[in-house]
Amino acid sequence: MGPDAQVPTPRGVQSLHFPDAELLPGLVNCHTHLELTHLGGQNAEPEFAPWIRRVRELKENTPHPQFLESAATGLRQCWRAGVTCIADTGSTGAVMEALHDLGGRGIVYQEVFGPDPAKCAASMQELDAAVLQLRRLATAQLLVGVSPHAPYTVSAPLYKAVAEYARRERLPVAVHLAESKEETQFVRDGAGPFAEALRLRGIIVEARHLSPVQYVVKQGVIGRGTLCIHCVQVDQDDVQALAERGATIAHCPRSNAVHRHGRASLKVFHEEGIPVGLGTDSVVSVGELDLWAEAAASGFTGDDAVRMLTIEGARALGWESEIGSLTRGKAADLAVIAVGPTGRQAVLTAIAGRIVHRAGSPQAR
């Protein structure tokens, strides 16, 4: 590590020069759904509750090999953009396979759904089986976690069961939380489009008289390192509750804008000392995944943007001692970034010292 003149080049070691580019730590994308890469531009539903329903239908109509292809395509796109670490939530296991087969770094949070309290045990059985499969592929740079999806798709008993399971199995947790106004309406008042849809399925919906954050905290889900995705619909008390429990936040401003959820209060998160990383969310929401655009949408430019996309992202994932900066002793997760006519592109991307992308050779392994 250091200026060229000071770094020795041992015999037999390859020396690469990029006079027109910048060497950065690999970027960290704190929220993706890469198994949905094939669904970009497929969901024009303007309202959030029907949009979510439509995503579920589109997924149900997707054959499994397509998810695998999507995950691999999405991962290569990340690498082309200099992203070396992803925190991905999904339900098919495809992203775990892609990361394993292609040699990536990331945390794969297995999603679990189940709004009907009566089906809690079945959901847990399914989750346990999926985690068992994923764990076979886990390594030091490829972690398995769990994600009880969101308050309107997960019953209170299921939240509790997943939280207990995660603690017992020492699995990191990610939750979609306080994203839409409809979610608040659902949790607090037991009303709105999410409540109506569940009642149509014969599921009893209760008003909790709590904010989504307070409600999920009450189920025991939020602990040290729990990655809370979105956190737009929060007040000062909510943010304090997250800070006290050591939660971290994945901020996805462009997705929030597309769905008209509003803007998360980054300033308040920072004041409370919560680690915040930036995430793109899925192509179904934002079109092309572009972390630099997320940084710009959050008001970060220059070195601040780089910091948010690297070390702050690593911190949000609890990975700051291994990645996120060009520091001796950390893994060599690197991106050589050049600014071209189509924006910033990685000329070369390496994960733990292994080149995973090189401009002009899309099949680089």
Q: Which of residues 164-193 bind Zn ion (CB under 5 A)?
A: none
Pick from 139, 162, 146, 134: nearest CA to 71: 134
In the complex, the smallest distance separating the C-beta of residue 304 from Zn ion, rounded to whole angstroms, is 24
**Structure tokens that stand for 88 in this block:** 């991905």
Closest to Zn ion by CB, 55 vs 266, is: 55
Closest to Zn ion by CB, 32 vs 345, is: 32
CA distances from 302 to 22, 306, 309 (A): 13, 7, 11
How many CB atoms are closer than 10 A to CB 309? 28
Closest to Zn ion by CB, 281 vs 322, is: 281
* Site map (CB under 5 A) of Zn ion, residues 304-343, x = contact: ----------------------------------------
207 phi-psi bin (left φ>0, alpha ψ -120 to 50, beta other): beta
Segment interacting with Zn ion (CB under 5 A) among 19-27, 54-62, 95-103, 276-284: 276-284
Q: Which residue has its beta carbon closest to Zn ion?
A: 281
Q: Which of residues 279-298 bind Zn ion (CB under 5 A)?
A: 281
> Among the residues of the chain, which ranges form H helices?
48-60, 64-80, 94-102, 120-135, 156-169, 181-184, 193-200, 212-218, 236-244, 253-258, 266-271, 283-286, 291-297, 302-309, 311-316
Closest to Zn ion by CB, 281 vs 294, is: 281
Q: Are 149 and 183 in contact (CB under 8 A)?
A: no
Pick from 176, 163, 174, 151: nearest CA to 221: 163
In the complex, the smallest distance separating the C-beta of residue 26 from Zn ion, rounded to whole angstroms, is 22
Place of tokens 């017992």: 168
Segment interacting with Zn ion (CB under 5 A) among 180-188, 206-214, 273-281, 316-324: 273-281
In the complex, the smallest distance separating the C-beta of residue 190 from Zn ion, rounded to whole angstroms, is 24
Closest to Zn ion by CB, 35 vs 281, is: 281
In the complex, the smallest distance separating the C-beta of residue 25 from Zn ion, rounded to whole angstroms, is 24
Closest to Zn ion by CB, 21 vs 174, is: 174
In the complex, the smallest distance separating the C-beta of residue 75 from Zn ion, rounded to whole angstroms, is 17
In the complex, the smallest distance separating the C-beta of residue 31 from Zn ion, rounded to whole angstroms, is 6
Closest to Zn ion by CB, 97 vs 281, is: 281
Segment interacting with Zn ion (CB under 5 A) among 62-70, 74-82, 184-192, 277-285: 277-285
CA 61 to chain centre: 23
**Structure tokens that stand for 46 in this block:** 């303007």
260 phi-psi bin (left φ>0, alpha ψ -120 to 50, beta other): left
**Structure tokens that stand for 238 in this block:** 């909510």
Which residues are near Zn ion by CB under 5 A? 281
